Each structure stands twice: as structure tokens, then as C-alpha cells.
């Protein structure tokens, strides 16, 4: 294994992890912001009020983006295996 291959593999792994997690993180962020605005407008300061909407939003975004996430993970895995076979042969 060359250092360039390892660095490229690490860079692609980090990029893939960020792309895979971004839909769930963004939906949780947006729902959290909306609940916070609602709490500020109504002066309801219940700390547990944000958990259920965030969990539901993350679950819905995971279901919606699952095909894209699977394609991205399969593409990354194929690239890793192809890179390993090229180094070995």
C-alpha cells in the first residue's frame, strides 16, 4: 500500500461519512430550530419537547434517503475493493 492510496482512502471515507450523515443531521437541526422558535414564541421551556420531533424527523429522513445512502455506500465499497485489487495485481 502506498501512502497516496491510504490518504485517498481516508479522504474518501471521511467524505462518504459526511455525505451519508448530512440528511439526518440537517433534518434534526431544522426541526430543533423550529421547536426552539416555537418555545421562544410561546415561552414554553420544556427540555424534553425537542426529542420526539427530532427522532421522528431523523427517522423520516433516513427512510427517504435510504436508497441514495445505499448507492453511496456501495459505490465507496466497490472503489475500495477495486483499489485493493489494483494494488495486489
Task: Answer yes or no: is 59 within a domain.
Answer: yes
Residue 68: give the domain boundaries: 47-81
Report whether pLDDT(2) > 90: no
Task: Answer yes or no: is 52 within a domain.
Answer: yes
Task: Answer yes or no: is 35 within a domain.
Answer: no
Tell me the C-alpha distance between 28 and 34, whole Å. 10
State pLDDT tens for residues 27-85. 999 999 999 999 889 888 887 888 899 999 999 999 999 999 999 999 999 999 988 88
Task: Answer yes or no: is 12 within a domain.
Answer: no
pLDDT at 15: 96
Task: Answer yes or no: is 76 within a domain.
Answer: yes
Residue appearing with cell numbers 414564541 = 41
pLDDT at 89: 57
Task: Answer yes or no: is 88 within a domain.
Answer: no
Number of domains in the chain: 1
Tell me the C-alpha distance between 87 and 72, whole Å. 23
Please tell me the pTM assigned to this model: 0.80
Task: Answer yes or no: is 32 within a domain.
Answer: no
Task: Answer yes or no: is 86 within a domain.
Answer: no
Amino acid at each position: 500500500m502506498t501512502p497516496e492510496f491510504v490518504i485517498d482512502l481516508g479522504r474518501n471515507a471521511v467524505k462518504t461519512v459526511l455525505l451519508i450523515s448530512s440528511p439526518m443531521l440537517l433534518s434534526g437541526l431544522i426541526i430543533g430550530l423550529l421547536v426552539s422558535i416555537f418555545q421562544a414564541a410561546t415561552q414554553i421551556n420544556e427540555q424534553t419537547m425537542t426529542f420526539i420531533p427530532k427522532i421522528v424527523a431523523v427517522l423520516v429522513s433516513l427512510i427517504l434517503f435510504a436508497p441514495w445512502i445505499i448507492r453511496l455506500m456501495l459505490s465507496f465499497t466497490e472503489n475500495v475493493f477495486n483499489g485493493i485489487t489494483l494494488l495486489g495485481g
